Structure formats: structure tokens, C-alpha cells
Amino acid sequence: MQADIAATPVKAVKVTFTAGFSRRYTDSIREFEVQAKNIRGVIRAMNELFPGLGETLEEETSIAIDGVIHEVDYTQPVKPGSEVFFIPRIEGG
Amino acid sequence: MLTNTKDIEQVMKVVGTSPVRPDGVPKVTGQAQYGADYSLPGMLWAKVLRSPHAHARILSVDTSKAAALPGVKGIILGSDFPDHPFDYVGPERVAQNYWHMTRNIMAREKALFEGHAIAAVAATTLAIAAEAVSLIEVKYEVLQHCIDVEDAMKPDAPLLFEDMITRGVEPAPSKPSNISKRLEFSVGDIAAGFASADEVVEMSFKTAAVHQGYIEPHSCLARYGADGQCELWSASQGHFVVRAYTAKLVGMEIGNLLVHPAEIGGGFGGKTVVYVEPMAVLLSRKTGHPVKIMMSREDVFKSTGPTSGSSMTVKIGVKKDGTIVAAEGLFKFQAGAFPGSPVMNATMCAFAPYIIPNVKSVGFDVVSNRPKSAAYRAPGSPISAFAVESVLDILAKKIGMDPLKLRLKNAVKAGSPTAWGPKHSHDGYAETIQALLDHPQYNKPLGKNQGRGVASGFWFNGGGESTASVHINEDGTVVIATGSMDVGGSRASMALMAAETLGVPYESVRSTVADTASIGYNHVTGGSRVTYATGIAVVEACNKVIEDLRLRASLMWDTDIKNVVWSDGYAKPVDKSVGNFEPLSLKAIAGKRAVTGGPIGYEASTNAGGQAPGFSTQFVDVEVDPETGAVKILQFVAAQDVGRAIHRDYCAGQIVGGVVQGIGWALNEEYIYDSKGRLSNAGFLDYRIPVASDLPMIEAVLVEVPNPSHPFGVKGVGEANIVPPMAAIANAIENAIGRRMTELPMSPPRVLAAIDAG
Amino acid sequence: MSKHHVTTVINGDPVEFLCQPNVSLLDVLRDELNMTGTKEGCGTGDCGACSVTLDGRLVCSCLVLGVEAQGKSIQTIEGMANGETLHVLQRKFLEHAALQCGICTPGFLIAARSLLERNNNPTEEEVRFWLAGNLCRCTGYNNIITAVLEAAREMRGA
């Protein structure tokens, strides 16, 4: 039988919300740490903590991954140790 | 003028030039068809009855006399539209509430602003439709109204909605009000921050509502068939969005509505929403004929969304060396008759160009009896910037620091924090300031009653959904299509990016805008997103085509695809060992397409992210006439980080255009209401936008700090340029005559009053 | 109200139409004659998008009644190019990016041609004041002025 290989701990992804959003949807908690390789994973993790939150995140927010703004896209990769900030969706004129 | 701030790695062949645009000849010969230029056989004309009252209950509407007029084919009221549940859906910042939206299209229980649509008539001639409108009898119970945002917030203000409870306040208020929402962004500890400041300035400001002022009134033509299929020709900033809104408001499936993109005569954000389209579609369905509606200029001013008026207080604290230590802003915005002012943008953008450890930014969205506000070029940001950039100027003077150097000292760059959370992701702001510091005219001496002012501005810029298709014609020319309405030459920019990617001459690329049935989804032409996001889709489609061209060439040469490269518009063998093959042009490969797999073409779609925000820094020299209070613009220099200019002239054109709108906003434009809440200046004579004789040549400085997330380094250019001008001009006036203007517009009577006040 | 029969010349061609006495020339051009190159921006003579010339005089066609065209000669944007050959002003507008959305462009071209027919060497200030009756919301006027000055230069043979 092969010896168990000790798993290397993977750095968590930091997830942050604005104060207003967190008051409405995450019991005023603004920061979370989750394990995820892409945005799909981040949303799944947040939805497990707050059922129904996933859909809200998809519909209502854009994201900033280490500061770079993206639309919410399941396939968008997220590196370990990244910060994913859910911000109000932006529209212009 | 170009300021290269980083090495441009690639040598561009066509990107960065300024060729003539594909829709140019149609537009200079009058052939191009805008929203009002379409007609169909059997077409009816529609006219709209609008409320003469700013606030009234609608007790009854009697259309019988109108219906009896020969030539009248159909009449609709608000109740003919399906109703929607009261629910805010979608992104908080731009939440849609279809209960509100359907009532904005046409009133139901109440008329909430002068100009609110009550009924619409379709008739065989415009004259008959107009006469029919005058025969509709409406009984109103006129109510007290409120316009100004402070008035609308007072506890005894007349309520537009008896059940409006302010969102964003905990615990929720027990009484209704006109305050739709409160929001806040804060970071750090502002009390401690201000305590540590050497100088603190707090000041209050007011701005009036201004209209986007597009020269083309809203117009459309609808043809609804007996099979439930409808075609709509509409001038808008986004025909897919028009399709979605119109279908939902009328109660039909999106797939049954085909929207043709008419050319658009200006939008600036005001044509990202619908007004006449649902009415035209419903009337066409009811009458069985095509229906055309064109708004009058008066209707445009009275009934379509201008941007908000505001009441603001801003407080900023700095150290003697110019470090900004704390900033606080209170922003109260008029939303118009239904919630949805751009106050959230304003609270987020206000302090965004600066690294400030302690910030508190609070916004209120307030309804009042005016048309519902709509987006206007960097919505919200120009308004809060007027306050913030004015206060910064006062502080610069207090500590004896050049105002550009004060901004440079605190300028954000990649990695700098924001008040709303994530870090800034791109450089570019400091480079725009430096471009002005280096400008030969910045230190030019000025004369009597002359002054110089500076200001900066920030805008997010958008990404989002776009689709593009690229096809190779049988003769090797290229046709590309997107769903992005062309407001300022984007067809040319798309063609430039395609030509550069494929390695072919610009002249061989046809660039078109396709209807909603002929291309995949494209979000609006707005938010400075098209060159960025639609450009990405175009390049991706071209890259797919290139892969296929390599495959075709490999089949023609009977070799493996890895032996073929695409270079400078030709398929070439990777090296001599592959064989003695002449390069194959698009024409040569297209000629053999049938045996190598058939027609050559691909579509690519994207939900683009990674866009960079826009930063603009500007200086203006003015001369104030002490006898009339008139302010003359002597010189205006606007620097903006555009990432990379795809079409240099159109890029500069966006900057100049936005600056001139800002000049109008600063010096003359405002909505003037009488005591009954009716608009006194609903026309271009008295709603005075800048004319050619008001202005000198405006100078645009293109700063290029490329965005690595875009294949050509593009950053959106359309909007950031309108953010600084009002504060820059206020600062210049203060420099000229020592008077601080805190209210917009700074029209001659106001400036004169400030001079006389001493 | 019964319609009047009007005989006129438009862009050098004889044209007849019927219109009621209270209808503007702009509405006749666009809705009766399907000449939609002339645009309505305001309907009250404030924006210049409907500019045409009437017996050589620059007018807002929204302020002229259709019946006033009787016996007169009208020039609209549709008559500016000569077949496939653009007028020098049209060429310069394209070369100098003097349009963004283009809705004001027909009015500006008609107005600019009218200026250059009277004054073939205008100063920048003269161009700005002559064109002050034409509103543009997109361009800020820079490139329009440049295009007109360049067209004047070429027309002078300078």
C-alpha cells in the first residue's frame, strides 16, 4: 500500500464584500477565506455558507481579482492567495 | 500630441493611423438612415399626449372623441401595457424595477412629472394624430410637487410614492419619504484622519440637472405582424438592450422581436434606455400597421432622462506637505420621478484618483417631480468631481502647493487602495498629470481677469458581453460584423484591429453593425466599452480565422499544419525545409475554399473583463468679463490615458467632445423650472449648449499607458474626459477674480453676483 | 385644410408636390419627397440640422413653409456631391474626422458651403461665427472648423 503523501496546504482565496452588501447578504461579515481554483468554485463556496447567495453574486456584482475588474465568469481562474472582491456592477453612459 | 510613457512593444502597421470611416460617405451625403429616416408602406404616425402637470393623480382618461376622428387607427394608455411586480432586480448600482419602468414609459395612477406620457395615438397622418391627441380628455387632481433635491428630502415634502421606505438604512424608517436609498463606502477612521490634518476645508455645492443634449430626438418605426413577429428600427446605443426592454415591457418573447440598428444621432448614455419603442410596438400590434414615432425636441427635454441635479458637501484634510489624510463626502442626487440616479457611481468615483487612508462617502438617491434620470457620460462622476476637485484646489492654495503637484503627490497607481474595496489595477493617472506639468502652456503668464484652473477625474470604464463575426469573401476581402452601435467611428476601429490582426490593408475590410437576428448578443455602446470589449471579440474571431487559414494552406500544400505560419497577411511555410511554396494571400486561399472545407468565417463572443479605468487631467485658462460675468475659454488642454489609440483622430475627438459638454455644463446648461414645476427652457434656444463661436480649439493630449489585458492595450476613452471640466473652470474663475463658485452652472448672472458680493 | 400644389426646383431638378399651408419645408422634404438627408433636431430653428439654401440664402427649413418654396430654388445635402465625386467640403469633413454621430453633418455642410460661396478666405473666427447657428454635441467643433478652413484653402487653389 502506498504511503499517504502529505497534502501541501494550498493558500486560500480571500473573498471580500462591500459593507453594504455584507450587511444585506452575509450577516455583516465582510471577509471570507475559501478554497477555489476559479470563480465557479468561489461562488459554490459562498453559496454553501449562505444558500441563495450564489445567484445574487451572479446577477448583481462584478468582481475585482487582485484589483483587475472582471464580469462574473465561472471559468475565470483564481490563483491561491488571490483577493476576490465583489463590487457593485458598473454601467456607463 | 502623443506622450509615450511606456515602450510600445509591437510596431503597428495600421492601428494608430486615422483612415476614413466606412460609414463616412453615407453620413456626409445624407444617405445614412437614422431613427426617423425609415418608412414603410401603410405606415401610421403616432403622437403622444403628455401631462401638463408636474404631479397629479390621473382620475380619468376619455379617448372617445379622439377615437372617433377619421384617420385614427389606435389609441393606447398605460393600462394597455402589462404590469410588473414591484421588485428591484439585477445589479444594485443599476437595479431595474419594471414596475417603475413601465410607469416611466406611460403613466398609470399618477402623472409624476410635466411631460409624463399619458396616451398615444396612431393615425394615418401626423396632423390627424396631433389633432386626436388634443381631443383626449384627462381629469387630473393636481398635487403639490417638489423639484429640488433638498426640498424633496424635507419631512413635509409631497410624496411621489406613498409607500417609499428608504433602502440602505437600518433600522428601516417607519415613515415613507422621497428618499429611495442611502448608501455608504468607507475605509479607515475619518475622525482620526481629520484630527491629524494640518488644513481642513469643508464646503457645500449645488448642481443643476443637465441633459445629454443629443441633436437627434428619440425615434423609431415598428412593424408588428399578425404572426407575432415584430421588426423595430430604432436609434439607440444598444439594439439588444432595446430588444430586451421592449419585449419585457410589451409582454412578448425576445426571440419574436428583431431590432435593426438605425444610425444614432448622439446618445451619451441617454439612449441606453427606451421611451418610444414600447409605444410604437404596442400601437403596431393593435392597429396591424407599421407605426412611426418621433419625439419633438420639447418632448425630449421634458420627458427623457437628463442627469441628476445635486446637493453635496465635501470635506478634505491634508498635511502641510500635501498628503491627503482624510476625505468625507455627502452626495444627494435627484433621481427624477423614479429611483435610479447615478449617486452610487458618484460616491465611488469622487475620491478614486487619490490614495486616502480615511474616507467616508455617503449618497442619497431621491425622487422628485422631474423626468427620470438617465445615464450621461461617466454618470455621477462629473458631479461629485465638481465638489472634490474644487475643495482640493482650495487646499492647494492654503498650503501653497501647485494644484497639479498636490494631485501627483497623492495619485493612485496599480496597487493603490480604493474606498470601496479592491486595489486599483492600473497605472496611468500620474502620467496624465505629468503630461500637463510638461506642457509648454501650463506656466504661460496670464493677464488681468484671467485665470488658470486644473482638475482631474476618474471613470470605471466597462467590459462585458460582445460578439463579433469575421468572414473572408470569395475575393479575399474581409467582412466583419458586430452588434455595437457606432456612435463615433467604432466601425473604423474594429476594421483597424481586424486588419492589424490579419495583416491585411484596412481598405480590404468591410465593417458593419448587424441586427439582433444576425449576430450574437452585444451590450450597449456606452461605458467606454466598445473598443475594449468588442475589440477583443473581433480579435478573437480573427484569430480563429487565422487558425483556419493555416489549415487551408496546409491542405493546399499537402503538408502538416505545424509547417504553416500566418505572417503579414499571408500563409507562409515555417522554413525552406517544408518546400518551395510561395506565400498564399487571403484571395488565393479563399479561391480554394470549396475543396478545403467550405466558406471561411468565425464568430467569437466574450464577457470581457480586465478593463482599465479612465483618468483625465485638464487645465483651462479663462477670462472673466467683470461687467457681465461672462466667462470666456481662452485655452483648454485635456490629457487622458487612452491605453493605446486605435484611431488617433477619433480618440482625440472623444476627448474634445466630452470637454465641450463639460464646458456647457459648467457655464450655461441647466433645467429651469417655474413655480408650477414646468420646464421653462425646453428647447435649444434657452437650454444653451456650447456653439462654435463660444470656443477656441480644444487640445487633446493622448497619454498611452497600454492595458495588458487587451490585445492592443486599449483603455476606454469615451467618458473620463467629461469628469474634470466643471471644477477646472471653477478653479480658473477663482484664480481669475478671487471668487469661489459653488453652484453650477456658473452662468453670467451668477458670476456677476459673486463679483458684486465682493 | 386642402393641400396646395407647389412647383419648385430642388438640387437643380424640377419638383412638384402637394402640401397643406401649415406644413414646413422640412416636413415636405422628409415626408413627402423622401429626402431624409435634411434632419430635424428641434423643429424651432435653434439647431441648424435642417439647413438648406433657398434661392441661395441659408435658411432653417423648419422655419420655412412648404408653400414658400413655390417658384424658388432649393439646395439640400442630397445635391452637394456631383455623382460619385464628393464636394471638397465633404471630403475634408471625412479626412479631418469632422463628424462623430453625423446627425448635424448635413446642416454643417450646407451652412459651410454657403459661407465659402460668400467668403473664400474666412478666418477661424469668421468660420466659428458663421457656423454658430449649427449645433454639434459630439465633436466640440475643433475638426469641423479645421475641415472648413482646409476646404477653403483647397478651393482657393492655395
What percent of chain B has a predicted confidence (pLDDT) above 70? Answer: 98
User: Per-10-residue mean pLDDT for chain B, 758 residues long?
Assistant: 38 87 95 97 98 98 98 98 86 76 96 98 97 98 97 96 92 95 93 98 98 98 97 96 96 97 96 97 98 98 96 98 98 96 95 97 97 96 98 98 98 92 92 98 96 97 94 97 94 95 96 97 93 96 97 95 96 93 96 95 95 96 97 98 94 97 98 96 97 98 95 95 98 97 98 92
State the Cα–Cα distance between residues B310 and B332, nearest whole angstrom.
Answer: 6
B634 touching C, CB under 8 A? no
Q: What is the reported pLDDT for B6?
A: 38
Query: How distant is the Cα of C76 from the closest Cα of chain B, in angstroms?
Result: 9
Question: For residue B23, which residues of chain C lie inside 8 Å, CB to CB?
Answer: 102
CATH number of the domain encompassing residue A79: 3.10.20.30
By Cβ distance, the residue of B20, B265, B267 closest to C95 is: B20
The answer to whether residue A6 sits within a structural domain is no
Look up residue A25 and give its DSSP letter. Answer: H
Q: Count of domains in chain C?
A: 2
Are C8 and C71 in a shared domain?
Answer: yes
Q: What is the reported pLDDT for B87?
A: 83
Question: For residue A59, which residues of chain B lie inside 8 Å, CB to CB?
Answer: 89-91
Q: List C-alpha distances in Å: B154 to B177, B251, B331.
A: 8, 38, 16
Tell me if there are at least 3 CB pairs under 8 Å linking chains A and C. Answer: no
Chain B / chain C CB contacts < 8 angstroms: 181
Map B562-615 to HEC letters: HHEEEECCEEEECCHHHCCCCCEEHHHHHHCHHHHCCCEEEEEEEEECCECCEE
Q: Which residues contact B613 (CB under 8 A, 6 or more apart)?
A: B352, B424, B426, B458, B459, B460, B461, B715, B720
- The mean of the pLDDT values for chain B is 95
Q: What is the reported pLDDT for B10?
A: 61
A89 in Cβ contact with A61 (< 8 Å): yes
The answer to whether residue A66 sits within a structural domain is yes
Are C100 and C54 in a shared domain?
Answer: no
The answer to whether residue A5 sits within a structural domain is no
User: Per-10-residue mean pLDDT for chain A, 93 residues long?
Assistant: 59 91 90 95 95 91 91 92 88 70
The answer to whether residue A4 sits within a structural domain is no
pLDDT in tens, chain C (158 residues): 799 999 999 999 999 999 999 999 999 999 999 999 999 999 999 999 999 999 999 999 999 999 999 999 999 999 999 999 999 999 999 999 999 999 999 999 999 999 999 999 999 999 999 999 999 999 999 999 999 999 999 999 96
State the Cα–Cα distance between residues B245 and B695, nearest whole angstrom.
Answer: 39
CATH number of the domain encompassing residue C8: 3.10.20.30
Are C38 and C92 in a shared domain?
Answer: no
Are C110 and C127 in a shared domain?
Answer: yes
Enter the ipTM.
0.98
Residue A10: strand, helix, or coil: coil
Identify the residue whose cell numbers are 460582445. B466
Quick one: how far is CA B590 from the chain centroid?
40
**Of C79, C102, C121, the domain-final residue:** C79
By Cβ distance, the residue of B217, B691, B698 closest to C142 is: B698
Q: Count of domains in chain A?
A: 1
Cell digits of residue B362: 455617503
Are C114 and C140 in a shared domain?
Answer: yes
The answer to whether residue A74 sits within a structural domain is yes
0.80 surpassed by pTM = yes
- pLDDT tens sequence across B603-637: 999 999 999 999 999 999 999 999 999 999 999 99
B215 touching C, CB under 8 A? yes
The answer to whether residue A31 sits within a structural domain is yes
Whether B215 and C145 lie within 8 Å, measured CB to CB = no
Whether B463 and A70 lie within 8 Å, measured CB to CB = yes
Whether B28 and C90 lie within 8 Å, measured CB to CB = yes
Cα dihedral across residues B402, B666, B723, B336: positive or negative:
positive
A89 touching B, CB under 8 A? yes
The answer to whether residue A7 sits within a structural domain is no
Domain that holds residue C126: 88-156
Q: List C-alpha distances in Å: B605 to B516, B519, B715.
A: 14, 10, 19
Strands (E) in B319-460, as ranges, are 324-336, 359-367, 450-459
Please identify among residues 584-623 of chain B the ones whose CB lies closer than 8 Å to any CB of chain A: 607-611
Strands (E) in B107-178, as ranges, are 110-111, 117-123, 137-142
Cell digits of residue B658: 466630452
Query: How distant is the Cα of C16 from the closest Cα of chain B, in angstroms?
Result: 20
Are C8 and C75 in a shared domain?
Answer: yes
- pLDDT tens sequence across B686-703: 999 999 999 999 999 999
**Strands B600-608 and B464-472: what pairing?**
antiparallel
Query: How distant is the Cα of B536 from the closest Cα of chain C, in angstroms?
Result: 22
Query: How distant is the Cα of C138 from the closest Cα of chain B, in angstroms?
Result: 5
Whether C128 and B693 lie within 8 Å, measured CB to CB = yes
Length, in residues, of chain C: 158
Are C67 and C101 in a shared domain?
Answer: no
Are C12 and C73 in a shared domain?
Answer: yes
Are C71 and C103 in a shared domain?
Answer: no
Chain A / chain B CB contacts < 8 angstroms: 123
The answer to whether residue A18 sits within a structural domain is yes
Domain that holds residue A17: 13-88
Q: What is the reported pLDDT for B90?
A: 65
Tell me the CB-side half-sphere exposure of residue B698, using CA atoms within 13 A.
33
Question: For residue A92, which residues of chain B lie inside 8 Å, CB to CB?
Answer: 269, 375, 377-379, 459-462, 526-529, 718-719
Query: How distant is the Cα of B165 from the closest Cα of chain A, in angstroms?
Result: 16
Tell me if there are at least 3 CB pairs under 8 Å linking chains A and B. Answer: yes
Are C64 and C108 in a shared domain?
Answer: no
Question: Which residues make beta-bridge pairs with B556?
Answer: none
CATH number of the domain encompassing residue C101: 1.10.150.120
Whether A93 and B459 lie within 8 Å, measured CB to CB = no
Are C100 and C74 in a shared domain?
Answer: no
**Of C39, C62, C79, the domain-final residue:** C79
State the Cα–Cα distance between residues C46 and C43, nearest whole angstrom.
Answer: 8
Q: What is the reported pLDDT for B163?
A: 92
Residue of C70, C40, C58 whose CA lies nearest to C133: C58
What chain B holds in terms of domains, given with CATH numbers, is 1-32+429-458+612-758 (3.30.365.10), 35-143+212-303 (3.90.1170.50), 147-211+308-425 (3.30.365.10), 464-608 (3.30.365.10)
Q: Give the nearest chain C residue to B653 (CA atoms).
A: C139
B353 in Cβ contact with B392 (< 8 Å): no
Query: How distant is the Cα of C104 from the closest Cα of chain B, in angstroms?
Result: 7
By Cβ distance, the residue of B264, B488, B685 closest to C46 is: B685
Question: Which residues make beta-bridge pairs with B640?
Answer: B616, B702
Length, in residues, of chain B: 758
**Of C55, C79, C103, the domain-final residue:** C79
Question: For residue B423, which residues of chain A lie inside 8 Å, CB to CB?
Answer: 64, 66-67, 83
- pLDDT tens sequence across A62-81: 899 998 999 888 999 999 99
Whether B90 and A87 lie within 8 Å, measured CB to CB = no
Residue B45: strand, helix, or coil: strand
Q: List C-alpha distances in Å: B246 to B102, B239, B257, B337.
A: 10, 10, 9, 20
C-alpha dihedral, B575 to B581 to B587 to B590, nearest 10°: -90
Alpha helix ranges (H) inside B273-334: 277-287, 297-303
Q: What is the reported pLDDT for B92?
A: 60
Identify the residue whose cell numbers are 500630441. B1
Radius of gyration of chain A (CA): 15
A76 touching B, CB under 8 A? yes
Are C121 and C70 in a shared domain?
Answer: no
